[in-house]
Amino acid sequence: MQILPPEPAAIRAAARALREGQLVVLPTETVYGLGADARNDLAIAAIYAAKGRPRFNPLILHVTDLAAAEAIVVLPPLALRLAEAFWPGPLTLVAPLRPNAGVSSLALAGLTSAAIRVPAHPLMRAVLAEFGGPIAAPSANRSGRLSPTTVEACRELADVALAIDGGPCLHGLESTIVSLTGPFILLLRAGALPREQIEAITGPLGSPEGESEGELKITAPGMLASHYAPDTALRLAAHDVRAGEAALDFHGQLAGFATRLRLDLSPAGDLTEAAANLFAFLRTLDSMGARCIAVAPIPDSGPGQGLGEAINDRLRRAAAPR
């Protein structure tokens, strides 16, 4: 995989590779994405192969603006209000697919809805503009592994034409996914946009559990219990660090315990900073050969910041038995 510095030549090269049906690793404000032309079945098949991803798990489509999104999906009034408030940014909307949307049905896993977002990262936006079409891009990791927040973390993927180095991702957590396909608006995946900010516009969000919409059951985003999995076991809500354990701390709660390695997601207790550090710190601790990683308790929310829900969601999946 060739890693290019963030320069105009890299943007042109990425757009060219996409037109040729190749895979490219692209920075976004959430995590790095593995991009392909969303209209090209062969290119989409290559994404699933490179990630080792189950074919029934559909991909997020990235477009430049609201008009490009509306060419693919039908956005109900509430979706339009969310788009106005949060696009470009870390919000993905699932909405009914338009007939003749022109998107590979493999990218949609055959569903009649599509997940779509307008990313904010200037490099991703430049590639979208230069390419001129929708880019399907899941996170650029092997399926079930930690999402990449630096370009180096994407090296585990084979068959990628090139990568653009955009530095560390701003949010470090995937986008928040909201579904507007049925009578209720549902939170499918907690993510970089806190629930409270969405609910300020929509009112309370439903959750897919208990909904009878069969479609949501199969597609529940990253909802396989074990997802985002490091090799090392995790012990959550730890109040101590035991022999042989590494420590993933928050706000200095585990600072007093002896360990070969302790990384603090945010010594100041800031959940935004913690989210940005989460996957990179988990990767580092995972590579240390510890028996287990003790993870300090992380509040579900803090003053003015609602990212705790998404951080705890990723930690629970990372800790799930597999």
List of residues contacting ligand TXA (CB under 6 A): 28, 30-31, 33, 57-60, 92, 94, 111, 113-115, 137-139, 174-175, 177, 188, 219, 221-222
CB of 224 to Mg ion, least distance (A): 11
CB of 245 to ligand TXA, least distance (A): 29
| Closer CB to ligand TXA, 47 or 248, in the complex | 47
CB of 149 to Mg ion, least distance (A): 12
94 binds, among ligand TXA, Mg ion, none (CB under 5 to 8 A by kind): ligand TXA
Residues 265, 219: contact at Cβ < 8 Å?
no
| Closer CB to ligand TXA, 26 or 296, in the complex | 26
CB of 164 to ligand TXA, least distance (A): 13
Length of the chain, please?
322
198 binds, among ligand TXA, Mg ion, none (CB under 5 to 8 A by kind): none
Q: Record the tokens describing residue 179, joined without a space.
A: 């579904």
| Closer CB to Mg ion, 13 or 111, in the complex | 111
| Closer CB to Mg ion, 13 or 169, in the complex | 169
| Closer CB to ligand TXA, 115 or 296, in the complex | 115
| Closer CB to ligand TXA, 22 or 259, in the complex | 22
57 binds, among Mg ion, ligand TXA, none (CB under 5 to 8 A by kind): ligand TXA
219 binds, among Mg ion, ligand TXA, none (CB under 5 to 8 A by kind): ligand TXA
CB of 267 to ligand TXA, least distance (A): 26
Distance CA 117, CA 245 (A): 39
33 binds, among ligand TXA, Mg ion, none (CB under 5 to 8 A by kind): ligand TXA
CB of 292 to ligand TXA, least distance (A): 26
